[in-house]
Structure 1
Amino acid sequence: MGIADSKNKERDRSRRSDSIFLPLLSFLLRRTFIILPLSLSFSLLLFLERTLKILYFFSTTEEKNRHHYPFEGGSLAKSRSFEMSTGDLLNIDPVELKFPFELRKQISCSLQLSNKTDNFVAFKVKTTNPKKYCVRPNTGIVLPQSTCDVMVTMQAQKEAPPDMQCRDKFLLQSVKVNDGATSKDITAEAFNKEAGHVVEECKLRVVYVSPPRPPSPVREGSEEGSSPRGFVSDNGHANAAEFATAARAFTEQLEAQDKSSEARALIAKLTEEKNNAIQQNKKLHQELELLRREGSKSVGGVSFMFVIFIGLLGIIMGYIMKKS
């Protein structure tokens, strides 16, 4: 009897525990099924937000680098494609003619034309300012799968343009010609679009860049570790104000050199005239001394002959007087 009672008590106790544990377990499971998707969704949202922030940071950084350093932060192929123009007939490198501007000095810039076809291609170079530039050759033939170098020379300029900006432009025209054609076969009609010829055109602009500057002396003291201020701004183009200042300084230096050279030439000319005057003076002194000597000789000879003549005359007169 006691054993049966104890078993019944244990059974009741297990039932009570089950009645408490099972609702609690079901409650926790329901909460887990609700909270777990919410927590996963929240974690996913945080991950997406951070990913978007990282992508935005890299995109803005790349945009800034592209703005400030157009030739950096990218591959060499991208920078070369920016500098080079690719057409169906010719590849033109570069599309910007960069001249290191200096006053009173001829400056040259090379242009390379590459024929990527299997045909003979004729080209012609035009400019908006033909008196300022010399193009050699301005017309020619580029053989198939070969290159041709064109030299553009800017004549010496007496004064710098305002803000160091140049509005001069070039136009390069190219057209297919018959195989075996030479430069003598090129005519103006070959580049006439109205005649039905397929003419490719590429516009080239002129850009003034800063000339190479001499190395500055090393500064002492606190300025020793400081880097010198560059002559080119962040966007890769020359600073107009610094460019104009350098041009004015260069002009003043040239004027001072011209004045000093003129002064040296004047001094040399005056020295030469002084030497010529001294030589002429010496020559005149020599001629005067020679004339004096000849004059003294002639004067001395006349007086001696006169004395002899008087003596002879006296002797003759005395002889006659004695006879008489």
Structure 2
Amino acid sequence: MSAKLVEIEPRELKFTFEVKKQSSCAVHLANISDQYVAFKVKTTSPKKYCVRPNIGIIKPKSTCDFTVTMQAQRSAPSEMQCKDKFLIQSTVVSFGTTEEDITPGMFAKDSGMYIEENKLKVVLISPPHSPVLLPVNGVSKQEGSYDTSIQKEKMLSGIENLPPTHKLSKDVEDPPKVVEDMELSPSNDVINSPTKYVEPRLVKDLEGTKLKSLKDIEELKSKMNTLDSELIEAESTIIKLKEERSTTIQEKERLKQELAVLRRKNGVRRVQVGFPALFVCMVALTSLAIGYLLRV
């Protein structure tokens, strides 16, 4: 199968780049075939971008949009050049397929299915600087002179200067919201501004965290001491039980010996009970002799 499945607009992802700010770009997909088409979005920098949705189903002759968000960056790239790329894979699926039915194996090259791939480049655009006119004593005053001078220095040197300190502190107060997604979701770590200003609220939070950590350490120490004392008591109990067991064994042996002695004594007594056979014979003979003499 070689027929084209989807049309993509735009062919380049253009982001208005500003330090410490997010930027988004919408992509429009159109299914020009007569079948259900599943798509998947990949990128060379998954921690830098967030795609919503990064997978989906497009019905025949229908369209679908997804949004690519570039997370806030600490500094601008050299000469505003970006080598990041996006890959949009699309393949034909059976009628009635839903997003829950999409699996990674559908887009594997060894699956035997036709997979259409479209690559999109990333283009960074400098933000437009529009001066703000504010009336001062009835005369309009141009407030963007400082930004204009920065823009001139950037054009002359080719290097973008850092924004003013007050702007950085504002960005620290309102950090960008990190959007969670599937496999293309960026890191949840928020990059702090490289400014020397530290908010009192942040210092207070750090102190509270430190105090909480110290309290937790003290509780752990007390629990360890309690466990040590219980362990010592258990060891002493085990020693006592061993001593009692040894004493019990000795007492048992002594009772066995006494029982053997008693059994021997009972045997001797049973032998001595009654008259010996010789004595009985002598008595019988004597009785016969006396009877004979009496008859005579």
TM-score by length of 1: 0.44
Which structure is higher in helix share?
Answer: 1
Which structure is higher in strand share?
Answer: 2
* Larger of the two Rg values belongs to structure: 1
TM-score by length of 2: 0.48
